[in-house]
Structure 1
Amino acid sequence: MIRRALLALGAALALSGCGLQPMYAGGGSGAVAQGLAGIDVPAIEGRAGWLMRNALNDRLRSAGSSGVARYRLDVRLDDRLEGLGLLSDDTIGRERRTLRARYQLVDLASGEILLDATAGSDAGIDVVSSEYAAIAAENKALENLAEDVADRMITQIALQLRKGAAAAK
C-alpha cells in the first residue's frame, strides 16, 4: 500500500516537472477559450462549405461568445469523390471521399496571418445496388468528414492561440 502511494507520488512529481499545461486553463475566461470565441468564419462555398462552417461555429461558440470578432478564419475546401475497386461487371464497388481544408487565421486588428495550415480526412464508402443508399452514404461521409476536419482545425488553432498567449506573458 505504501509502495503504491510512493509510486503515485513519484509519478506526479515527474509529470509536474515536464512542462505540460492544460490547454483550456482558466475555463471560459481563459486566453484560448476567449480567442476561440472571438473567431469569425465567413461563408464557405458549396455544400461541404456549409457543413464545415456549421461544424466550426459549433466548436467555436461552445467556448462562449465574445460578441466582437478578433480573428477571421478563411477556409478553402477540396472535396473529392473517387471510385475504387472495380467489380467483375465493370461497376465501382467502393468509393473514397476526401475532404481537405486549407485555412488561415487572420488577426483583424493587424491583418497578420497567425496560422496558415491544412487539415484533411478521408472515408471509404461501399457502393451498393440501391442508388438512394449510395447517395445517402456519400452524404453521411461528407458530414462526418466535415466534423473530423473541423476538430483537427480547432485543435491547431487552439495550439496557436495558446502559443500566442504564452508569448504575450
Structure 2
Amino acid sequence: MNLHGIVAVSGKPGLWKALAQNKTGFILESLDDNKTKLVANLSTAKLAALDEITIFGEDEDIKLKDIFERMNSAKSIPDPKADGNTLRVFFREVAPDHDEEKVYASDMKKVVSWYNLLKDLPLFTEEPKSAEASAEEPVSETVAETSAEETKPKARKAPAKTAKKK
C-alpha cells in the first residue's frame, strides 16, 4: 500500500493528492470523482500526510497503514456514519491494542471514511518505493552518455576592438 503523497487538509473534506509544491504551499488534487484542484497555503492550512499518521495505542502507536491492511482483510466494514459503539467494536477487531480513552468515535469515523475513499484506488494495492530501490535504479541513459567534451564550457571569442578614427 502506497500512501506517499496523500494528505488530509484541515477544514476540507476528503483526501488530497499532492501534485506539486510552490513557494507558499502545495498544489493538491482531490481523490474523489470531481478531481478538484486546490492550492494549500502552508501558513494557513494544516496538512497531515497519511503515511505519517498514527493511532494512539496502549503500548506504542499504531500506523494508519497497518490499520488499513487489517481493514482490507476484515469481513465487513461498518458505515462511517454508524454509531460510536459499532465503530468501537470494529476497531477492537482491526486495532485490538488501540487506546480506547484517546481514540474517539470521530477519529474512527474518519479512518473508516478514508479507507472507503482509498480502497478502490490503484495506489492502495501498489507497493511503496523504498529508498534502497530508488538508489538501485540505473542512471538515465541520456545523462550517462554525455561525454566530458560535451560538458566543457565553450570558449568565447573576444570582441574585436575597433580602431578609433582621428
- The bucket for the TM-score relative to the shorter chain is under 0.3
Report the structure, 1 or 2, having the larger helix content. 1
* TM-score for both structures, normalised by structure 1: 0.24
Larger Rg: 2
* TM-score for both structures, normalised by structure 2: 0.24
